[in-house]
Each structure stands twice: as structure tokens, then as C-alpha cells.
Amino acid sequence: MKATKSSTNNSKADARRLIARAVATEKKADAARNQARMAKLEYKQARKAFKQAKQAAKQARKEAKVAVKLFQAKAVKAKKPQKKKEKFGKQTKLASQKAPAAPPRPSATKSHRRPLPPAPATPTVPPVRTTPSTPLDTGPLPLS
């Protein structure tokens, strides 16, 4: 067997090859870091979207529940027959014996309304032009 001699050219080529490999590996590591960062951001956005959807679904269920209760209450109220007045037995209070009714509260929508400005006493009419708008206009003047 022959022994191989290492020459200075081969060692320089090996060093360059190792440096090139190290640079390529650094680039791959940077690309992997960027990809991991992007994946993390996408995951974070997906979680946020999921939480928002979950909250919206919860709110929709709550609104539906309230709507069902309202509908049932209206249905029960409409279904109840009017009570017949009894001729004998319980005595009903007269209007004079009833407690006075409290004054109505101002509603929130009415209290925030702005008052309308007073209407003018005489209607305003724009002035009528008697001269033409341009000096070249020689047509007939409008009759008014």
C-alpha cells in the first residue's frame, strides 16, 4: 500500500470547504429560526382567532337564550284568558282607594334629544337676479 501525502493545496481546499459548509449551515439555521418564528406567530394568531370565535359563539348562545325567554313570555301572556269578574266574594278597590300613580320617568332617548330650532315666521325666498350672470349672456331675463 501506498501512503498518501497531504499537500498544502489539499489542506487549503479542506479548510475552504469547511468554511463554506459552516456558512451554509449558519444560513440553514437562520432559515429554520425564521420559519419557527413564523410558525409561532401563526399559532398565536390562530389561538387568538379561536378565542374570538369561541367568545362570539358564547354571546350568540346567550342572545338566543334571551330571545327564547322573551318569546315564551309573550306566548304565555297571549295564551292566558281574561279573568271573569266575580259578582260575589272579593271586593274590588275603587279608583279613589287606589294609591296614586307615580309620575312617569323621562325616557333616556327623549332626554338626550336636542330641541328643534324655531321655525322662521316668514318663509325666506332667495333673491331674484335681474342682471345676467355673465356679460356675454344676452338672452331674455327670467320672469318672476
Q: How far is CA 86 from the centre of its chain?
A: 56
| Cα dihedral: 17, 21, 22, 27 (round 10) | 140
Q: Give pLDDT tens digits for 17-34.
A: 999 999 999 999 999 999
Apex 59 CA angle, 57 and 60, nearest 5: 65
Low-confidence ranges of the chain (pLDDT < 50): none
| pLDDT (0 to 100) of residue 12 | 75
